[in-house]
């Protein structure tokens, strides 16, 4: 679990990565630093050390410069920060709804052969395209 | 239906057949042997993977698939995995250790090889002819298609017998129709992809729910992994399965015949299982690793390795891809993933292209919003983040799909599996090391095919196209490291998988491929395994065995 200090640093960095724009909420507005990052860190414990390293590198100074500094000094830490922030954002059902993504929900298979069978006739008409066995 | 079956019986001191590996080929062997009255035991270093563990139907899917369900064992680092040194390989090997083997994580593309794939030396003066033909393997393909419950559409003019399948094809959806329209504009071959994924309920397997998560394990149980398709019946028929059993050596008797295996259980205890016949089914890396580990007075260069060919001729199918993005909403997160379409338009050799051999193309969806969002480090921040984060999601999500190119790589004895002199697995057993370089022919092949795939996207109306000419994490197909052939001087096993130097050692995985073809190999691995084991069953009276 993040300390209050780490969470404050992360909140500033996360909003640089995912700002409020294009009709979409920022990371903070989507509860990434306060809620969803906790879940994401639980799903990816392997990324926790690199993520904390990113927070340490980015602790000081203006947030945009801090993100650039993380990226330029430690690509592994930046990858962890990027994956966990993006992944946390998409865990939020409200975000999924805004981008039109239903998530991994069941969508039973159906037979749509009738929609393309006429198209396939042209493929068949062009004839065989294999080289037969040489005997 | 549960995919874990814990039938425990006391192991006989000596079994008729010991099978090493419970994946695609080992499952076929165990099932066939048990149902024909053989006493058979299987040693599998992994365990059952309950379908409830798969993340494809859970919100965290895209996060966990990059670690726990990653196909690269060096990334996944699960308790069943062994490390593989890839410092000198252009391609990373991808596999899964457990009951069902890599069928747990495979994409379930079901592709028969073409007739020409069995005769590359005769037709193109490269590689080697297989010791049998497409027509010899055809009935075994058919049988495996029934067993695996393959979904597909009959009548494909790319094949001589225009195979039909037991289940109708999975839906093309908006993605497939968009891509097909592009191919039609160009007059290029396409066909609904055949997949070992149930489009309708079959046996104990329900129909596909299109989670699009095939590559991370099917939470619906619709994908034909062999823990579902083979193991229940094999165990009912009396087969023994030992999970968590990591083999460190195949033993031999004083005649040099295989006599069993030494394995280490998950408590670190060493065991010896004796057998009259040993079947190796540990994939194109694990099988040569075990053979090289099994040195003896009778086999000083490793088991059945008088030719020094064991581990050599490694082929891994370098993979190229073109991903097109479209204005239309295509729901491109939906499965199957899986091949929606395939194309054999450029499969056969045309030397005017500047290379020989070819590739199968497969059409696949692009997944959810996180997708391949990794490896940002070092690239400009605003390329993937800031306002562009939102713009990219809106532009790509649900609107992109991939034409992938399975490039045939030709056998080269310098591409090989060796034992790493220092790296070991968690039991202290030397790990494999891969020495693998993509050839000039392969590089030309992929470059040319990817350029055509770009044209296919353009014809279909893509607004942007990104290409990859060699994906490093693409080594799903581990082939060729114990070559089959008629000549004991130039091959490791005969056409039935029996080692020339050790006739009661039967190898049935992708190691025996004489050439790689440009196809996903599971159909051929399983059909060949069935052909080899059925030959063993039918010729049991004359089969050499240890202890006779």
Whether B198 is covered by a domain: the verdict is: no
**Tally of structural domains, chain B:** 2
Count Cα atoms within 13 angstroms, Cβ side, for B52.
3
Residues B400 and B497 in one domain: no
Last residue of a domain, one of B452, B470, B488: B470
The pairing of strands B258-264 and B341-343 is unpaired
What is the biggest distance separating any 2 CA atoms in chain A, rounded to whole angstroms? Answer: 76
Residues B221 and B132 in one domain: yes
Cα–Cα distance for residue pair B162/B194, rounded to 1 Å:
12
Cα–Cα distance for residue pair B168/B148, rounded to 1 Å:
13
Looking at the DSSP bridge assignments, the partners of residue B417 are B434
Cα–Cα distance for residue pair B34/B441, rounded to 1 Å:
44
Considering only CB atoms, which chain B residues are within 8 Å of A84?
Answer: 63
Whether B235 is covered by a domain: the verdict is: yes
Give the pLDDT of residue A1: 83
Asked if B24 and B525 count as a contact pair (C-beta separation under 8 A), the reply is yes
| Residue numbers of the domain that contains B360 | 167-193+319-408+439-470
Looking at the DSSP bridge assignments, the partners of residue B315 are B479
Looking at the DSSP bridge assignments, the partners of residue B484 are B493
User: A90 and B397: CB-CB below 8 Å?
Assistant: no
For chain B, give the number of residues: 548
Give the pLDDT of residue B376: 58
Nearest to B514 by CA among B504, B523, B524: B524
Cα–Cα distance for residue pair A90/B392, rounded to 1 Å:
14
Asked if B463 and B327 count as a contact pair (C-beta separation under 8 A), the reply is yes
Residues B97 and B178 in one domain: no
Task: Name which of B133, B168, B391 is nearest A113 (Cβ-Cβ).
Answer: B168
Residues B444 and B356 in one domain: yes
Q: Using 50, 70 and 90 to split pLDDT, how confident is the model at A88? A: very high
Summarize the confidence of residues A52-71 as an average pLDDT.
97
Q: Does B154 touch chain A (CB under 8 A)?
A: no
Burial B351-375 (b: 16+ CB within 10 A, else e): eeeebbbbbbbbbbbbbbbbbebee
Considering only CB atoms, which chain B residues are within 8 Å of A71?
Answer: 376-379, 381
Last residue of a domain, one of B419, B448, B470: B470
Q: Helices A48-57 & A75-91, crossing angle to 10 degrees?
A: 110
**Distance from the B207 Cα atom to the nearest Cα atom in chain A, whole angstroms:** 7
Whether B98 is covered by a domain: the verdict is: yes
Nearest to B160 by CA among B184, B193, B137: B137
Whether B201 is covered by a domain: the verdict is: no
Which residues, including other chains, have CB under 8 Å from residue B546's CB and lie 6 or more apart?
A: B252, B253, B255, B257, B258, B259, B260, B274, B275, B276, B277, B504
Give the pLDDT of residue B371: 77
Considering only CB atoms, which chain A residues are within 8 Å of B58?
Answer: 104
- What's chain A look like in SS3? CCCHHHHHHHHHHHHHHCCCECCECCCCCCCHHHHHHHHHHHHCHHHHHHHHHHHHHCCCCCHHHHHHHHHHHCHHHHHHHHHHHHHHHHHCHHHHHHHCCCCCCCCCCCCCHHHCHHHHHHHHHCCCCCCCCCC
User: A99 and B397: CB-CB below 8 Å?
Assistant: yes
Residues B447 and B427 in one domain: no
Q: Does B177 touch chain A (CB under 8 A)?
A: yes
Whether B156 is covered by a domain: the verdict is: no
Task: Name which of A16, A40, A109 is nearest B207 (Cβ-Cβ).
Answer: A109
Give the pLDDT of residue B373: 47
Residues B372 and B460 in one domain: yes
The separation between CA B106 and the C-alpha centre of its own chain, rounded to angstroms, equals 7
Q: Alpha carbon of B145 to those of A56, A101, B49, B132, B359: distances in Å?
A: 55, 34, 23, 20, 22
Could you tell me where the DSSP H helices lie in B35-116? 61-64, 73-76
Nearest to B32 by CA among B387, B534, B544: B534
User: B63 and A40: CB-CB below 8 Å?
Assistant: yes
Two tokens at B234? 């094999």
Could you tell me where the DSSP H helices lie in B4-150? 24-34, 61-64, 73-76, 120-124, 134-148
Residues B121 and B250 in one domain: yes
Residues B374 and B419 in one domain: no
User: A21 and B374: CB-CB below 8 Å?
Assistant: no
For chain A, give the number of residues: 135
Nearest CA in chain A to B169: A111
Nearest to B411 by CA among B521, B509, B511, B519: B511
Whether B159 is covered by a domain: the verdict is: no
Residues B450 and B372 in one domain: yes
Considering only CB atoms, which chain B residues are within 8 Å of A16?
Answer: 381, 385-386
Separation of first and last alpha carbons in chain B: 42
Task: List the CATH number of the domain containing B371.
Answer: 3.30.410
Backbone angles phi, psi at B417, to 5 degrees: -105, 125
Last residue of a domain, one of B422, B453, B470: B470
Whether B362 is covered by a domain: the verdict is: yes
The separation between CA B464 and the C-alpha centre of its own chain, rounded to angstroms, equals 31
The separation between CA B361 and the C-alpha centre of its own chain, rounded to angstroms, equals 16
pLDDT digits (tens, 9 = 90+) for A28-42: 999 999 999 999 999
C-alpha angle with apex B131: B127 to B135, nearest 5 degrees? Answer: 105
Whether B30 is covered by a domain: the verdict is: yes
Residues B117 and B140 in one domain: yes
ipTM > 0.85? Answer: yes
Considering only CB atoms, which chain A residues are within 8 Å of B383?
Answer: none
Nearest CA in chain A to B375: A79
Considering only CB atoms, which chain A residues are within 8 Å of B376?
Answer: 71, 75, 78-79, 82-83
Residues B284 and B419 in one domain: yes
Residues B267 and B323 in one domain: no
Two tokens at B192? 């609904």
Give the pLDDT of residue B377: 60
Task: Name which of B172, B189, B222 is nearest A116 (Cβ-Cβ).
Answer: B172
Task: List the CATH number of the domain containing B248.
Answer: 3.50.50.60
Q: pLDDT truncated to tens, each residue of chain B (548 aa)?
A: 455 555 567 899 999 999 999 999 999 999 999 999 999 999 999 999 999 999 999 999 999 999 999 999 999 999 999 999 999 999 999 999 999 999 999 999 999 999 999 999 999 999 999 999 999 999 999 999 999 999 999 999 999 988 889 999 999 999 999 999 999 999 999 999 999 999 999 998 999 999 999 999 999 999 999 999 999 999 999 999 999 999 999 999 999 999 999 999 999 999 999 999 999 999 999 999 999 999 999 999 999 999 999 999 999 999 999 999 999 999 999 999 999 999 999 999 999 999 999 999 999 999 999 975 445 566 789 999 999 999 999 999 999 999 999 999 999 999 999 999 999 999 999 999 999 999 999 999 999 999 999 999 999 999 999 999 988 999 999 999 999 999 999 999 999 999 999 999 999 999 999 999 999 999 999 999 999 999 999 999 999 999 98
Nearest to B543 by CA among B139, B28, B34, B17: B17
Cα–Cα distance for residue pair B139/B144, rounded to 1 Å:
9
User: A108 and B210: CB-CB below 8 Å?
Assistant: yes
């Amino acid at each position: 679990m993040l300390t209050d200090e780490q969470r404050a640093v992360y909140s500033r960095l996360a909003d640089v990565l995912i700002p409020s724009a294009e009709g979409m909420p920022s990371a903070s507005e989507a509860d990434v630093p306060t809620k969803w990052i906790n879940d994401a860190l639980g799903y990816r414990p392997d990324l926790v050390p690199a993520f904390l390293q990113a927070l340490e590198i980015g602790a000081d100074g203006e947030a945009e410069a801090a993100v650039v500094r993380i990226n330029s000094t430690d690509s592994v830490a930046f990858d962890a920060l990027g994956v966990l922030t993006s992944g946390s954002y998409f865990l939020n059902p409200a975000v999924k709804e805004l981008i039109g993504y239903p998530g991994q929900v069941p969508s039973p298979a159906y037979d749509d052969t009738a929609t393309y069978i006429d198209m396939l006739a042209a493929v068949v008409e062009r004839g065989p395209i294999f080289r037969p066995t040489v005997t | 239906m549960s995919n874990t079956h814990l039938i425990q019986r006391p192991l006989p001191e000596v079994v008729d057949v010991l099978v090493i590996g419970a994946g695609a080929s080992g499952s076929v062997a165990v099932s066939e042997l048990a149902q024909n009255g053989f006493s058979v035991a299987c040693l599998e270093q992994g365990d059952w993977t309950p379908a409830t563990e798969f993340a494809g139907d859970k919100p965290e899917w895209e996060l966990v698939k990059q670690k726990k369900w990653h196909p690269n064992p060096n990334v996944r680092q699960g308790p069943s995995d062994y490390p593989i040194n890839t410092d000198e390989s252009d391609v990373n090997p991808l596999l899964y250790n457990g009951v069902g083997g890599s069928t747990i994580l495979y994409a379930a593309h079901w592709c028969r090889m073409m007739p020409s794939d069995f005769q590359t030396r005769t037709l193109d003066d490269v590689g080697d002819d297989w010791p049998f033909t497409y027509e010899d393997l055809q009935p075994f393909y058919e049988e495996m298609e029934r067993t695996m419950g393959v979904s597909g559409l009959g009548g494909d003019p790319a094949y001589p017998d225009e195979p039909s399948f037991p289940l109708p094809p999975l839906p093309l959806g908006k993605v497939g129709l968009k891509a097909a329209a592009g191919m039609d504009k160009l007059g290029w071959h396409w066909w609904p992809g055949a997949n070992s994924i149930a489009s309708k309920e079959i046996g104990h397997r329900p129909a596909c729910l299109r989670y699009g998560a095939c590559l991370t394990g099917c939470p619906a149980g619709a994908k034909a992994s062999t823990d579902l398709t083979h193991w229940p019946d094999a165990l009912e028929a009396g087969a023994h399965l030992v999970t968590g059993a990591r083999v460190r050596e195949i033993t031999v008797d004083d005649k040099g015949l295989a006599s069993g295996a030494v394995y280490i259980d998950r408590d670190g205890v060493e065991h010896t299982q004796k057998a009259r016949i040993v079947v190796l089914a540990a994939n194109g890396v694990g099988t040569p690793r075990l053979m090289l580990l099994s040195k003896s007075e009778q086999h000083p260069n490793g088991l059945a390795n008088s030719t020094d060919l064991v581990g050599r001729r490694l082929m891994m199918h370098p993979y190229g891809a073109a991903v097109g993005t479209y204005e239309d909403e295509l729901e491109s997160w939906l499965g199957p993933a899986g091949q929606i379409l395939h194309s054999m338009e450029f499969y056969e050799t045309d030397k005017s292209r500047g290379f020989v051999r070819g590739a199968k193309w497969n059409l696949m969806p692009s997944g959810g919003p996180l997708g391949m969002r990794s490896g940002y480090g070092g690239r400009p921040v605003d390329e993937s983040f800031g306002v562009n984060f939102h713009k990219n999601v809106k532009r790509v999500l649900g609107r992109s799909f991939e034409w992938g190119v399975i490039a045939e790589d030709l056998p080269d004895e310098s591409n090989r599996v060796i034992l790493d002199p220092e790296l070991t697995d968690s039991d202290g057993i030397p790990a494999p090391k891969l020495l693998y370089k993509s050839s000039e022919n392969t590089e030309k092949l992929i470059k040319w095919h990817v350029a055509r795939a770009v044209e296919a996207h353009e014809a279909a109306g893509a607004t942007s196209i990104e290409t990859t000419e060699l994906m490093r994490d693409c080594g799903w197909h581990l082939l060729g490291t114990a070559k089959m052939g008629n000549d004991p001087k130039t091959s490791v096993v005969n056409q039935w998988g029996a080692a020339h130097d050790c006739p009661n050692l039967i190898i049935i995985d992708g190691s025996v491929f004489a050439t790689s073809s440009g196809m996903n190999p599971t159909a051929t691995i399983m059909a060949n395994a069935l052909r080899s084991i059925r030959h063993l069953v039918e010729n049991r009276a004359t089969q050499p065995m240890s202890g006779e």
